[in-house]
Structure 1
Amino acid sequence: MAIAASQIVGMSFIIQSFGMSTGSLSWLWRIYDHRQADTGVPPAAFFRMLALILVPALPALLITQVAFDAPPEAVLYWFKALSVALGLTLLLTTLVGPKHSHVRLTPARGDYVALVCLGAIGGVATAFFSVGVGELVALYLFIRNFPLVTAAAAAVMVSALSVLTGVTHHLLTDPQPWGLLIFLIPGAVMGGAIAKYFALFLGARRLKIFAALWITLSSAYLMWVA
């Protein structure tokens, strides 16, 4: 099935709207499941963090969609470079740091400032590539040693709300190959439902290493082939 280049990002927005929404519900259940001991930072602090990410991310996403049809070359390069830098930082802090370092349950003022900045950068990146804000948030929260539940849930939820906000632009501007999407969407929903169990099975340390390697190597490869 022939797919135009302009449709690829739109397809990713649609697929993630289903997969990330399913994942968000799964992680939200975990946060409020009082039978579990590792539910992350207190819900009030968690949702404050989400709000500080989304307040700059969503306007940045929408403005970028209206202003640009394609990402300027410099934006693409620097986003991949930032991803490599954060990925390597996460990998090094995980491998070199103590295996049982203190888990941060209270965000500092600097964390809130950093999340606002990453939200703005991630919003622009998500508009261009359909990914960005969730990955940057996850890497930062892992580097800062927040609980696995907090880092994963925040990344999935901001991704879900971002793609749900931006998907309308693609639905209105480009015809989408629904004959193909109808087969991809169920897989995204299934992946969103089981991803939490995969993350919890790996545990915080192994998940950090996996995420760091995946983002670093994939971004470095994209920089090399470009």
Structure 2
Amino acid sequence: MISLLKRHTGKLFLVLLLLAWCAILLAQPALGNLIKEFGLFSGLGIIGAIFANATGAGGGVVFVPFFNYLSFSAQSVVATSFAIQCCGMTAGALTWAAYYQRQHKQDGYWKALPSALLLTVPSSICGIGFAQYSSQSKLLLAHLWGGAHNLHIAFGSFSILLAIAIFASIPLMKRTHFKKDLHTKDLLLLPFIGFVGGIITAWLSVGVGELVAVYLIIRGFNVTMSIAVAVILSAFTVWSALPYHIFVSESVVWQVVLFAGAGAIIGGVIAKYVVLAFSVQRLKLFFGLWVLILGVTSLPIL
């Protein structure tokens, strides 16, 4: 019985999450009006989570521009995106972790996954903490982009740079032989990327997963393994960022999260199958073009 529970821990957690969502939904007043006004956000959650968990990028690349379009405040854009990602990235992380345990635990090409997470998760959480609670972070944000009210400019600039990095990494995905072990420079660079990525993620709700995935791919590690690392890392990161927005900024739009979060759980579960069913190069090319378009349209030049 215990071994059976261990094998299906992820599925059990998702079932419990679904039951909790149903209970919360049924407890809402004026349920019909709530579904009518916010129900379509479920589709947004599914799309965002599929992109996020199939490419290693955070769902913020979908949620942030959409919420900006709806004229959410800068704080609410980031806070609501984090809350939705806590649902989608958790579902995706559990799915990828179970896939690793069942099929790749003894695979040499996936050998670096636990070490990469140990190097990036703590540093990413430290970056989140620095960005959210340090006054120096606010000064740095103001110096770079003129403050949180210029979120669209920061998001646009980062998206364009990310798209360029994605396009640059696509030719490397044709490799058939990959690195198996982290080298000395990886032991130094991965925590640094995790910390900087955590700071960027706290500001934009995207960053650390994308940066780590691109780095691992460029370094020559297995592409699917790199995506799995990015997804699991992002799940830890967004959960560490959410308490600030619940208890300090109080900016989460919970009605949106209720529906988009449920969609994100579905997207997070099926994203792995999207990666395994389609060419990774095509997924990255499509995703890179999407991110580039979002980045350009977020800038005030248009």
TM over 0.5: yes
Matches within 5 A, 1:94-173: 94-95=170-171, 99-173=174-248
Please tell me the residue identity of whatever aligns with 1:177. Answer: V
2:266 is the alignment partner of 1:190: yes
Q: Which of 123, 144, 157 is the matching residue for 1:74?
A: 144
CA distance, structure 1, for counterparts of residue 297 and residue 108 of structure 2: 35
Deviations 1:152-179 (A, max 9, x none): 1111111110110110000112153322
In 2, the alpha carbon distance for the partners of 1:213 and 1:116 equals 28
The answer on whether the counterparts of 1:80 and 1:222 sit within 8 Å (CA) in structure 2 is: yes
- Offset of residue 35 of structure 1: 7.9
1:61 aligns with 2:136: no
Which runs of 5 or more structure 2 residues have no equivalent in the other structure?
1-36, 38-70, 146-150
Structure-2 change in CA distance of 1:115 and 1:176 (3 Å): same
Deviations 1:32-88 (A, max 9, x none): 11389978422xx31111111122211111121113569426157678656544542
SS in 2 for 1:32: helix
Within 2, Cα distance between the matches of 1:102 and 1:33?
22
Is 1:49 the counterpart of 2:116 in the alignment? yes
Q: Which amino acid aligns with 2:257?
A: L
**How many Å separate the matches in 1 of 2:108 and 2:289?**
26
When residues 36 and 210 of structure 1 are mapped into structure 2, their CA distance, relative to the original with a 3 A threshold, is: farther
The separation in 2 between residues aligned to 1:114 and 1:72, in whole angstroms, is 26
Inter-partner Cα distance in structure 1 for 2:183 and 2:122 = 19
Does the Cα contact within 8 Å between 2:154 and 2:204 map onto a contact in 1? no
- For 1:20-41, what per-residue CA distance to the aligned partner results, in whole angstroms no more than 9, with x for missing partners? 0000000001111138997842
SS of residue paired to 2:177: coil
Aligned partners of 2:198, 2:282: CA distance in 1, in Å? 28
What is the one-letter code of the residue matched to 2:82? F
Contact residue 138 and residue 152 of structure 1 kept, 8 A: yes
The CA distance in 2 between the partners of 1:105 and 1:216, in whole Å, is: 31
State which structure, 1 or 2, has the greater radius of gyration over its C-alpha atoms: 2
Residues 145 and 178 of structure 1, relative CA distance in 2, 3 Å threshold: same
Letter in 2 for 1:64: A
Q: Do the aligned partners of 1:46 and 1:150 also contact (CA within 8 Å) in 2?
A: yes
For residues 11 and 69 of structure 1, what CA distance do their matches in structure 2 show? 20
Question: What secondary structure does 2:257 align onto?
Answer: helix
Name the SS of the counterpart of 1:104 in structure 2: coil
Query: Given the two structures, how large is their TM-score scaled by the length of structure 1?
Result: 0.83
The answer to whether the Cα contact below 8 Å between 2:159 and 2:294 also exists between their aligned partners in 1 is: no
Supply the distance in 1 between the matched residues of 2:175 and 2:258 (Cα, whole angstroms).
44
Q: Return the alpha-carbon distance in structure 1 between the equivalents of residues 154 and 72 of structure 2.
A: 27
Aligned pair count reads 223
Residue ranges of structure 1 left out of the alignment (5+ in a row): none
Larger mean CA deviation between 174-183 and 134-143 belongs to 174-183
Q: 1:195 to 1:61 in 2, by over 3 A?
A: same
Q: Over aligned residue pairs, what C-alpha RMSD do you find?
A: 3.0
With 164-173 and 46-55 compared, the bigger mean Cα shift is at: 46-55
